Amino acid sequence: MIAGFERPSQGTIRLEGVDVTATPPHRRNVNTVFQHYALFPHLSVWDNVAFGPRSRRLAEPEVRRQVGEILERVRLSELAARRPGQLSGGQQQRAALARALVNQPAALLLDEPLSALDPGLRSTLQEELKRIQRECGISFLIVTHDQEEALALSDRLAVMNAGRIEQIGPPRQVYDAPSSSFVARFIGRANLLAGGDGRSQLLLRPEQLRLQADPLPSDPAEQAVRARVTAVTFQGPSLLVELDAADGSPLVVRLNRWDAMASVRSGESLWVVWQTAAAHRLTV
Amino acid sequence: MSRIAARLLTLWAGLAYGLLFAPIVVIVLFSFNLPSGRFNLIWQGFTLENWLHPFRDRALTDAFLTSLSLALAASLIATVLGGLMAIGLSRSQGRAHGAIELLLVLPLTSPEIVLAASLLNLFVQINLPRGFGTLVLAHSLFCLSFAALTMKARLGGVDWSLEAAAQDLGATPLRTFGQITLPLLAPGLLAAFLLSFSLSLDDYIISAFTAGQVIVFPLYIAGAFQREISPQIHVMATMVLLVSIGLLGLGLGSKDGE
């Protein structure tokens, strides 16, 4: 709808203050990086990138200048003569980015831009994407299903559920103070405990919890529940411990690999402890 | 498999291919024959005379040219209409889908003689004089099915999001069609055109029923057995063969290049 391929059934879309609801895609100052890039297979990288400027009937010297500049920026100058089929996944992604950015759109849409790449390349390109965004100063609107990617890339993060925005804000705020249990569960792992008053829940992230064998020492700033370990998953730098609390509710705790309790086994009964002040209260 | 069995298999395959290609070899060979009578059927001696004067046989040349222009007209019509049909079919999910596809396949599966007879019947009924016009109509009709189905098969691999990408980059619908859609369709269109062309060029049955007084290449050759078989027939047949081999080589070559 933002790119103009679908019409909203109601409401308006404004771009830089102008109503563009009825504007067809080829007259909108918005460009898209498609999920599978949609690079034109019969054109070279250079001609792919030049497609937008030529559509706008810019003079050929100006086209050459703009295309050369943007290819420099995404570091593809050497590969300009190649066809998309001769590029690696990461290079294709950068070519698609250049093809969209060369038009200096008011906003750039990216539809799961990194989902087609293998995980190792993904984190490199996340950095690359941020660098290019900072250099161009163009707003990027990124759609992703990868929560970690969303947290890592965004300045503002919107969580959508069934077509409605549940929450919008800086990533830290969305993670630490979600507005609903849906957001809390969607972004990262969440432990939701009864709030005690029947109308609220307490959110605790797995890394805010710790395990100990003895009952709680008399520290008034902390709380604890007794729970039994059901599964331990080794994840490299950390361990994910799943437990059942005494009242039956599931809990998940993330431990540093070198934590004193890292040797915990499934079936053991332990105490799960947290700082009372760390819990975020959600009203149901 | 033992060595003897392997040799026998090779021999068998050689025989099969030999039998398959022997008639074609004979045609090529006899284009260099120096016939004594009116029938170029017995080897007399080698000459380049036939190749130096390939168009000496006036009636044959006329028939050949008629066939070429007929094939050109029919395959152009069939490729354009068939291409549009295929695009329409691949983009819509209408309820008429199945019915249209059945109608497309029907001319391929029904005997050619049925189509030929019913076309003649139709032309007589509506009092349309038989001639080049009816030939073009009839040939376009049976080529249409082949062209549409060839295109449809090729369209399966076309990524339509490229059109969205072109529009997103500011291309008008016309520019999108010219710069993106058409190049994407080009291989399929070419395949449909070449197939239609060769089908039209060698069609006998439908031409025999719808040609009227016009004589096309296959009709001429069939008739030649009663009058005269000039070596020029062999020359032209060899030319057609060479063009086919050339196109095939071109197709294989471009596939290797990708």
pLDDT in tens, B163-189: 889 998 988 889 999 999 888 888 889
Give the residue among A260, A263, A267 at the shortest CA–CA distance from A234.
A263
pLDDT at residue B251 tops 80: no
3-state helix, strand, coil in chain A (%, to 5): 30, 30, 40
Q: Which of A6-20, A121-135, A229-243, B244-258 has the lowest mean pLDDT?
A: B244-258
Q: Using CB atoms, which residue from B169, B173, B184 is nearest to A51?
A: B169
Q: Using CB atoms, which residue from B172, B180, B183 is nearest to A26?
A: B172
pLDDT at residue A40 tops 60: yes
Q: Does domain B58-229 have CATH number 1.20.1280.290?
A: no
* A124 SS3 class: helix
pLDDT in tens, B98-137: 888 888 888 888 888 998 999 999 999 998 888 899 999 9
A26/B159 CB distance under 8 A = no
Closest-CA distance of chain A to residue B186, Å: 11
Closest-CA distance of chain B to residue A44, Å: 13
DSSP labels, A148-206: HHHHHH-SSEEEEETTEEEEEE-HHHHHHS-SSHHHHHHSS--EEEE-SSSSEEEEE-G
Residue of B nearest to A99 (CA): B169
Residue of A nearest to B165 (CA): A38
pLDDT at residue A228 tops 60: yes
pLDDT at residue A240 tops 70: yes
Tokens for A45? 């990288």
Residue of B nearest to A101 (CA): B169
Identify the residue with better confidence: B79 or B1: B79
pLDDT in tens, A116-175: 777 777 888 888 888 888 888 888 999 988 888 888 889 999 998 888 889 999 999 999
What's the mean pLDDT in B30-40?
80
Q: What is the pLDDT of residue B258?
A: 41
Q: What is the pLDDT of residue A1?
A: 82
What is the percent of chain A where pLDDT is above 90? 28
Q: Is the dihedral of CA B236, B242, B246, B247 positive or negative?
A: positive
Determine which helix (DSSP H) or strand (DSSP E) holds A18, and give its type and residue range: strand A18-19
Give the residue among A185, A182, A109, A119 at the shortest CA–CA distance from A152.
A119
Position B53 confidence tier, pLDDT thresholds 50, 70, 90? confident
Amino acid (1-letter code) at residue A194: A
What domains, with CATH codes, occur in chain A? 14-155 (3.40.50.300), 206-283 (2.40.50.100)
Closest-CA distance of chain A to residue B169, Å: 5
B162 chain-A contacts, CB cut-off 8 A:
38, 40-41
Residue of B nearest to A50 (CA): B169
With beta carbons less than 8 A apart as the criterion, state whether B235 and B50 touch. Answer: yes
Q: What are the residue boundaries of the structural domains of chain B, listed by start? A: 58-229
What's the mean pLDDT in B140-145?
92
pLDDT in tens, A248-279: 888 999 998 888 888 888 888 999 988 888 88
Position A45 confidence tier, pLDDT thresholds 50, 70, 90? very high
Phi-psi region of B127 (alpha: psi -120 to 50; beta: other; left: phi over 0): left
A40/B175 CB distance under 8 A = no
Amino acid (1-letter code) at residue A233: T
B188 chain-A contacts, CB cut-off 8 A:
none
Position B257 confidence tier, pLDDT thresholds 50, 70, 90? very low
Q: What is the pLDDT of residue A218?
A: 65
Q: Using CB atoms, which residue from A24, A36, A55 is nearest to B169?
A: A55
Q: Is the dihedral of CA A174, A176, A181, A184 positive or negative?
A: positive
B171/A51 CB distance under 8 A = yes
Across the A/B interface, how many CB contacts are shorter than 8 Å? 59
Q: What is the pLDDT of residue A158?
A: 92
Closest-CA distance of chain B to residue A112, Å: 15
Tokens 């161009």 sit on residue: A136
Closest-CA distance of chain B to residue A191, Å: 41
pLDDT at residue A82 tops 80: yes
B165/A40 CB distance under 8 A = yes
What's the mean pLDDT in A95-117?
88
What is the percent of chain A where pLDDT is above 70? 99
Position A217 confidence tier, pLDDT thresholds 50, 70, 90? low
pLDDT at residue A196 tops 90: no
